[in-house]
Structure 1
């Protein structure tokens, strides 16, 4: 046992509990998505099969437990990850020795890293790296038997700093719409997956949109610096981050990005600040136990990991100050100490790809085409967008990037059309609506539409929440025979 006065952050026990359980809860969501979506997207018979990927990509470029892939192995991995994450949410490992939650979180990190590193375009999102980095750091906060190490807490503050400042800088350096304060006149309408309140946000007066953008700049370019000042200052800065992220939760669907940012920001709120907030409501926090010596191994491991992360911080720090800042970049295959940022460019108009099928023998002008319905992406112009975050609808997000003209998405989109022609049950379960009730169509095609939110008078007159305009055919009618000849 050893006592290192500056090592123990005894005034952050509430922060540790909140961050450990909050990060574990996000892992629960992530592994539920793995179990529900991975096989039809990336499994043995998926749109981008993992076996084909690992055959051409070496292990050193994508280390994973799934390189000898089978759907059964994936299911086992998913259920193990889910079980471990649930145990951390309810606090079971935290009741043991200091190393028990460390092992539990490292298991989550290894399992989810194995998924991300073979997930290809369906797992190419910044919040995947964020979850991996958060899970790795939280692993070293210790159990309830020891005080949280200050060095690991500082690394969590450094993570939130990079996350918020990186997002602010990528906007300020990117699209001029962020600098002239007009970005949110478009973004609520053109964001990847609108939520139930997105239309109301879009219809706010334009001066309020400017206020939104200005407030965003303050929250992401100024406030993060105060997270590095421990005590009441950092607690207030963390509260600003939480409020900003809740605003984003209300205005859109960004998977677990906003929720995980909220959880990580709580790491900067000390017990004294929690007590000051809760005391008027009659809630008293338990008194902090007296300081005691810490296991030598606990101190050594925490300091060694902290030193490693400091070294790895060079690359994201250099990225932050670079004029050519990279957005959502991992500098190593372990997704540790990454660069973050989103929406450096704002789209001004919304294009949607509609997938249609027909059972008619002739796909010509007289054919009756029926549209497939997706869970999250806009389709039916009368349907109110749903709230799915923190759950991540990976197919729907892929359709948004496809509509932007991403060539990387075409690699899975043509196999997706094949699955529809085959009425593949696993693929159809990813959709909200199959117009053919499980029967295969004769032909499929893809059309593009321009979408915009309906004005209040238009909504009152028609009941429609979207107005859409047909902009032509993206992929003309295809049947299985045509696709077989193209292969």
Structure 2
């Protein structure tokens, strides 16, 4: 079938595959480094407890067969190794079927992690990586030209990411319709970056221009993806520029980078295609069967796009093959932060020596400048932002985190930037207080050097101690 492949996209496929492998590598590295404190046998939300109550059919995962921290580490580090091999181009040295199997490995391993990840893996970019990674299995290697069907299915993902995000904004907070959301968003977003203070201090009219440009990129430009070239390339380029702007303005894990990767698959690079063999019949049959499956599973996500009750970041099947996306349907006007403190005093008093725990990414010390972490994902820091919005977001894990701090639990402390207590002397009490944070003005920053100003609001958790002796590591 001559229409089946598009040789002119061979370089697009190559760039897409290598970039996707890099995202996989970051995702698996994040899992390998953080899982013990979050999901391990002695973690805040242990996987063994989850798989005991959730059946395999609802959350397919290797860990339903058996779980141990050692096995999780093997899965995560194996994912890192395979992603690194794909980044280096190992799939190009394998036969077509071998390359497909190699791409299937990180998808299956990461699916096993996401499906038992609970709250820590409830972000849209997890499903986005799985959906994109599944289609990457069928893109082929140097033994065949890129299949047109898969290229268009990748654009279908990108369309839903951008158009869904645009619609959720128009249907949500009125500040998106008034073009005023960015008067607040750079300050109140989950994890500001090193340039967020400067973005927040941009003039109001420029903020409105940002929002208007965002509406154009998310509501109109996505339709250009399905236009002939070079229009599709121009549309993808506009999306890439918008995502790079978001990369500069905050920390959104690998969401922006993966969106860029998807857009790269729609770019037609000006390079002559090398001679490529015709696609074998078995490969054509597999690709067309997968395309038919994706189209059938797209019904509910497509229906969600046009629904007045549109939801965002929802998976409609346990394999995360076709999902719905979107972000910031509402924007906070005020930033709250939960500040966690401990004391060595036997009796906690307001004037006790309360020492603050420092997190890696979330705001804490007003003088500490925000750092750039994305595409690496600080899962605990992100959930602390949600906890500040409402204690309901923290109900499942916050108490367990406090318990680990009272034990000086090493895996938990590794998630933090700094603990104020020596390893052999854990705090007697831990408390949490809610503060209102705002970016300082130009004058305040010049005078104090601080980028944040904070004010105490109320107690979030009263002084709490262990009712038993700390466990041994």
TM over 0.5: yes
Aligned residue number for residue 279 of structure 1: none
Q: Deviations over 1:42-69 (max 9, x none)?
A: 0000001011111111111111001221
Aligned residue number for residue 224 of structure 2: 226
In 2, the alpha carbon distance for the partners of 1:483 and 1:203 equals: 49
Aligned residue number for residue 34 of structure 2: 37
In 1, the alpha carbon distance for the partners of 2:70 and 2:128 equals: 27
Equivalent residues of 1:230, 1:268 under 8 A apart: no
2:121 is equivalent to residue 135 of structure 1 = no
Q: Deviations over 1:207-261 (max 9, x none)?
A: 1000000000000000000011131000000000000000000000000000000
In 2, the alpha carbon distance for the partners of 1:420 and 1:265 equals: 43
* Matching residue within 337, 345, 352 for 1:352: 337
Shift of 1:80: 1.2
177 and 483 in structure 1: CA distance in 2 versus 1, 3 angstrom threshold = farther
Q: Which runs of 5+ in 1 are unaligned?
A: 276-284
203 and 79 in structure 1: CA distance in 2 versus 1, 3 angstrom threshold = same
Shift of 1:100: 2.1
Aligned residue number for residue 280 of structure 1: none
In 2, the alpha carbon distance for the partners of 1:232 and 1:386 equals: 38
291 and 414 in structure 1: CA distance in 2 versus 1, 3 angstrom threshold = closer
Q: Deviations over 1:10-41 (max 9, x none)?
A: 11011101111111110100110111001110
Equivalent residues of 1:121, 1:409 under 8 A apart: no
In 2, the alpha carbon distance for the partners of 1:294 and 1:246 equals: 36
Q: Deviations over 1:440-469 (max 9, x none)?
A: 001000000000000010011111110000
2:58 is equivalent to residue 61 of structure 1 = yes
TM-score normalised according to structure 1 size: 0.95
1:263-342 to structure 2, matched below 5 A, reads 263-270=261-268, 274-275=269-270, 285=271, 287-290=272-275, 292-342=277-327
How many pairs does the alignment contain? 468
In 2, the alpha carbon distance for the partners of 1:352 and 1:346 equals: 16
2:460 is equivalent to residue 460 of structure 1 = no
* Matching residue within 176, 179, 184 for 1:178: 176
Aligned residue number for residue 76 of structure 1: 74
1:88-99 to structure 2, matched below 5 A, reads 88-99=86-97
Aligned residue number for residue 459 of structure 2: 473
Shift of 1:482: 8.7
Shift of 1:483: 11
* Matching residue within 436, 443, 455 for 2:429: 443
C-alpha RMSD of the superposition: 1.2
Aligned residue number for residue 20 of structure 1: 17
In 2, the alpha carbon distance for the partners of 1:437 and 1:453 equals: 32
In 2, the alpha carbon distance for the partners of 1:292 and 1:52 equals: 50
Shift of 1:408: 3.7
Equivalent residues of 1:88, 1:101 under 8 A apart: no
Secondary structure of the 2:198 match is helix
Q: Deviations over 1:87-123 (max 9, x none)?
A: 1101111222222221112111110000000000000
TM-score normalised according to structure 2 size: 0.97
2:411 is equivalent to residue 426 of structure 1 = yes
In 1, the alpha carbon distance for the partners of 2:21 and 2:277 equals: 28
Secondary structure of the 1:268 match is coil
In 2, the alpha carbon distance for the partners of 1:70 and 1:265 equals: 38
In 2, the alpha carbon distance for the partners of 1:105 and 1:356 equals: 45
247 and 231 in structure 1: CA distance in 2 versus 1, 3 angstrom threshold = same
Secondary structure of the 1:135 match is helix
